[in-house]
Amino acid sequence: MKTATNNGSNRLIGLFIDIKNLLKGKVLIANVFPVFTAFWLAIYFEGEQFGDYIGLFSLTLIGSTLVISGALMLNNWFEVDLDQNMDRTQKRPTVSGNFSLKAVLWAGILTTIIGLAIMLFTTPEALLYSFLGWFVYVVLYTFWSKRRYTWNTLIGSVSGAFTPLIGWAAIAPANHIVPITLFVILLIWQVPHTLAITIRRLEDYTRAGVPMLPVVRGVQVAMMHHLVYIIALLPLPFLLIEPLGWVFFVIAILLTIGWMIQAVKGFQAKDQKKWAQTSLRFSLIYLILLFLLMVILTI
């Protein structure tokens, strides 16, 4: 009896791990967090109370999470041949065979449809941004550009940048300096973040034949692009001084400068993979602190 119970528990744990790997756990969280942040900020700047919007908040978060999850599943389904040649993706259930490709395809389609259906009960604008984010990631990035062009990274970045627009538009039209600036921040941030991953896993992408910038034009060129995009983040906190204040501005500038310094160190790094791993962590710290600070300052 005890052995059967343990086996059942192990299978359940294994299932959860497979689902986490299928949905690229950290990627899912990194996309949903800006939805929450922008929703919160929209309530603050519209002078509303969060407690009055619990139902709408639940619909927005659940709907957007399902749409994003659907996109990630379809990405895994389509890229299984690439993932089979990459060390970092060997635990994905599409590679291990724990989930059939047909099941993943249908799960991705149905999850997307359910997510968009839920977003129908928010606002038309939030629904539009949800669909556009999905369309850019699945069709323009996964199906069209990733296997063809080095600038596939920028197209993928456009998809992720829609997330704060979704959260804000659930409350009010997103023609406001805050959600627009958040869109631009995420658009720019994702490029050096992704380049750090690519440099860290250069052999993987080379073996899989994915035309990422470091694979096609070399690590030094990729590192230069990595630095340029981080520098491009520097002016953006100026746009948020009035709505979010000087405390946010100073901390945001310091975080950007710190990331810039770390990026410059890469050109003298003896171990570029180790440097890329550090830059990857710094990019995540930058994003989490930046968005968390926005929430804290508006409580």
DSSP, residue by residue, 179-226: HHHHHHHHHHHHHHHHHHHHHHTHHHHHHHT---HHHHH-HHHHHHHH
Which two structure tokens, joined as six digits, stand for 100? Answer: 């059939």
- Rounded to the nearest angstrom, the gap between the alpha carbon of residue 33 and the centroid of all alpha carbons in its chain is 9
Which two structure tokens, joined as six digits, stand for 215? Answer: 């694979």
Burial of 43 from C-beta contacts in 10 A (0-12 / 13-18 / 19+): buried
Dist CA 268 CA 288 (whole Å): 27
Question: What was the pLDDT predicted at 3?
Answer: 61
Residues 6+ apart with CB under 8 A from 234: 253, 256, 257, 260
Phi, psi of 91 (to 5 degrees): -90, -5
Is 163:31 a contact under the CB 8 Å cutoff?
Answer: yes
Residues 6+ apart with CB under 8 A from 212: 150, 152, 153, 198, 205, 222
Low-confidence ranges of the chain (pLDDT < 50): none
What's the chain's length in residues? 299
Question: What was the pLDDT predicted at 166?
Answer: 98
Question: What was the pLDDT predicted at 17?
Answer: 87
How many other CB atoms are found less than 10 A from the CB of residue 145? Answer: 19
Architecture of domain 22-297: Orthogonal Bundle (1.10)
Residues 6+ apart with CB under 8 A from 40: 50, 167, 294, 295, 298
Question: What was the pLDDT predicted at 11?
Answer: 78
- What does the DSSP 8-state code read for residue 162? T
Question: What was the pLDDT predicted at 25?
Answer: 78
Per-residue exposure over 81-95, b if at least 16 CB sit within 10 Å of its own CB, e if not: ebbebbeebeebbbb
Burial of 67 from C-beta contacts in 10 A (0-12 / 13-18 / 19+): buried
Q: In the chain, what is the straight-line distance between the N-terminal and C-terminal CA atoms, in Å? A: 51
Question: What was the pLDDT predicted at 8?
Answer: 62
